[in-house]
Structure 1
Amino acid sequence: MMDRIDSWLRLCPDAAIDPLPGMRKAGLLDPVPDYATIARLKAVLVERTGLLGIGSVWSGRHLVFRHFLGFGTAAQRAEWAARGLAVGISEPDVGAHPKRLTTRADRTDTGFRITGRKAWVSNGPSADGIIVFAITSEVAGRKQYSAFIVPRDTPGLGIGEMPGLHALRPSQHCLLTLDNCPVPAAAMLGEAGSAYGRMALPFRDIEDAVGSFGTLGALRHSISLFSGATLPDQAADLGAIVALTAVFAAAAEPMVAALDAGRFRTGNATLVGLRVLATDIVHRLRTLSTGLHRDALIDMIADLEATLSVARGPRMARQTYLGEAALHTASRAE
């Protein structure tokens, strides 16, 4: 796969501008065999280009296919193997909280009609279709969600600009409007009513496990940007960043290995620790970069900070849970 990256970089000298055509020609959009390959290549792409968003553009397509289409039929996987899919779960003003989502899919004689809005759809502007999460029923007052593959040219599907995030180029996000969009029954992905628990909830941790390699590539690239700098009194500080990045890499590798081995468990404390460690390293990078006036380093640090700020609330809740569990254990031992 490294030769494909080399080929792509020759085809696309400016990776920040529409990288997908070159990736397709170089074979980088062909199906990838496992999560570990996605993760490691994501790290290489970010390190080689200096663009954290490149990792999101490339790995996002592969992650969506590997995870979500894993719940699909053989026909669905064959139809979408060579095409790009994005995922629409979150909605404007409410995020991805299952109690607050309102997009609905109403049954018809031939399938469903979907009505609602989706926000922050990563890679949506370049996708051939969107996997849309919608309410299909309610049981004892609890919303039941199903997932549907909605092709880009579906009548009633509108794709609009999603303002507010200007980092992570060339990754793009969009706002979806679904106005009574018709889809056939065969567009449903997986079992009816089970999509949120079986697909959406595990995906956040899968994204974090693989996404840690994008962070790793960005950290390694950032370290390389200190080459030639005059830091006579701060070499030890840079050495600490190098050492902590090595620790980060060593902890990230078992996460994707567990994914491929079927041993991965959501809520893993190591994932929380990786995020805490990354935040600490980025803080050290920003402190050390003060006064260097290297635009590429400043941009990379800004992208890292933007990435680490995504879904900060839910991730802080997990960190708090770990602390409360430790306090509870300690109190029982007294």
Structure 2
Amino acid sequence: MALWLEWQIKVYVLMVSLCVGAWTSATPPNSTLAVFERWMARHGRIYMDNLEKAKRYEIFLKKLRFIEDFNSKAANRSYTVGLNQFSDLTTEEFRARYNGFRPTPRSSNSSAATTFNNQNVTQAKDSTNSIPDSISWVDKGLVGSIKQQGSCGSCWAFSTVATMETLLAIKGDINTAGVPKVGTKGHLSAKKVRTSIKGGRLVDLSEQQLIDCNTDNNGCVSGTETKAFRYMERAGITSEEKYPYKGVKGECNGRATLVPEATIQGFYAIPVSEHSIEMAVAAQPVTAGVDSNSVQFRNYRGGIFTGPCGQDLDHSVAIVGYGRSNSEGLDYWLIKNPWGEKGYMRI
């Protein structure tokens, strides 16, 4: 790097640091530029000019300081945080690019779905009429590959498709599937999907089809799981091989959608009850809306996330299991999320 650029970045950051307070990071200031350069190379970052790079370096430094401070107290926490592909973005930029989930108003759920009841998940119960203490559809080999949505607010499409991929992989006719919206501190609400598909095949399905063809939703801007499932009632969902992901909204490729891999027959509303969600997840994965506004959530690295949480549901994921950690003594939901523990997160 040219000495001029290094000097410019350091002076810029020094000016900012004098405004926000003394240096508190465990990493010496003269080494953070090298850390930033390595992070840029890892994530393929190229900025349009030196001023933009200096701006991103400032944001990166704030994240780095937070991460080091948080993890220095990890002995008293159940999870850790770390650098990831979002470490040069502000909260506002992250939300604009990645948070496309818009939860369906509660008042409209009753008209959109049949009431869910415990009989819908009887196949998940054992001979003692109880559900398992833990389950992981990942460990069963029935969860599709980890995918990156890019700078497109299509999380709503990824979560619904993740649910359908596992439904397609489960052998036999499927009569239970879910679409919960998870709020804070365990407040849950959900929907359940009825399907009739030939199981036994783990196929990557097409998020791009939902982005392009599900005109009730707003592509890379925003969407809801209810409208996505309604679309799949009408048109079904095809494979990603036939309709590959581009990460931008385009014209609907009608020819690619002619032969769907699966078609939805309906969906149910699940009560605001962790027990009801647990019964549904014991039968198959369900989609979920979560609040991703905290810097801890966005920089989650591993462990069991315990908050902070809010009520603003802005990010859609798939719940693919649940269990209990003996080391932390905590129950958790296992969610499919493209960052964290190899594409998953315990919460």
Q: TM-score range by the shorter chain?
A: under 0.3
Q: TM-score, normalised to structure 1's length?
A: 0.24
Quick check: which one's helix share is greater? 1
Q: TM-score, normalised to structure 2's length?
A: 0.23
